[in-house]
Amino acid sequence: MDLEEMGVKVLKISLGEVVISFNPITTPVETIEKMLAENGFPMIMNREGIMVKEIKKSVVSLVHHTTFNAMVRNSDYLVGKFGKTYPYLSSLFSKYEGITLEKYIILHKVERIKSLIEEDELSLSEIAFMMGYSSVQYLSTQFKAVAGISVSDFKRNPAKYRISIDHLGKENFADYIGKDEILSVHKKDIP
């Protein structure tokens, strides 16, 4: 059963958020919660869970919708936005998401780089600067470690290696050791 069949009207849907209208007498909120959870969308009701959702939205905004990456460290941006220490934000994020905040940011940066490469408007040097990398070499090394392919291989068949940003998370990493050494990556086949 979907929301419409339950008498629930979806007013707005965005990353990590859905606004609905329903009659609580004919459709109890518990029924909606159960249906959403069964489909992989559990409702977040506690303060920590809400903060994690806001962290995820902030990462998406920072990486995909601004050029702040070149001007400010991701950790400084998040600390300033939430008024909490980075170790606190990172441990909270890991507790709920099963992946470190750093890894989550790297996943988004690599997907953004893929998008910029596909657009073919900027050189790799410009992309490296825009995304806050110290060099093209560092961008290329991290890209290959995360995406499992080189930048030049990606350019040959970009659609095969794209992952929707709302699907980025722990399932994209098979093994991860240390802060910068990614051993293997689970690649999703995208038609």
pLDDT score, position 160: 66
Average pLDDT value over all residues in the chain: 79
Which of the pair, 172 or 112, is modelled with greater confidence?
112
- What is the pLDDT at residue 162? 60
* Domains of the chain, residue spans: 4-38, 47-185
**CA nearest 108: which of 58, 33, 154?**
58
Task: Let me know if domain 47-185 sits in CATH 1.10.10.60.
Answer: yes
Q: What is the pTM of this model?
A: 0.65
| C-beta atoms surrounding 163 within 10 Å | 18
Cβ neighbour number for residue 182 with a 10 Å cutoff: 21
Q: What angle do CA 160, 166, 172 make, to 5 degrees?
A: 60
The rounded distance, in Å, linking the Cα atoms of 112 and 35 is: 32
Q: How far apart are CA 173 and CA 184, in angstroms?
A: 7
**CA atoms of 5 and 96, how far apart (whole Å):** 31
Paired sense of beta strands 17-21 and 173-177, if any: unpaired
Q: What average pLDDT does this structure show over 67-90?
A: 85
pLDDT at position 178? 30
Give the start-end residues of each E strand in the chain.
9-14, 17-21, 173-177, 181-185
For the cut 80, the answer to whether the pLDDT of residue 123 exceeds it is yes
Higher pLDDT among residues 123 and 5, named by residue = 123
Tell me: pLDDT of 170 over 60: no
Q: How far apart are CA 98 and CA 87, in angstroms?
A: 15
Per residue, the 3-state secondary structure of 45-101, as one string, reads CCHHHHHHHHHHHHHHHHHHHCCHHHCCCHHHHHHHHHCCCHHHHHHHHHHHHCCCH
Q: Is the distance from CB of 92 to CB of 48 less than 8 angstroms?
A: yes
H/E stretch holding 186: none
Q: Provide the pairing of β-strand 181-185 with 9-14.
A: unpaired
What backbone torsions phi and psi does residue 50 show, to the nearest 5 degrees?
A: -65, -40
The pLDDT score that the predictor gives to residue 41 is 75
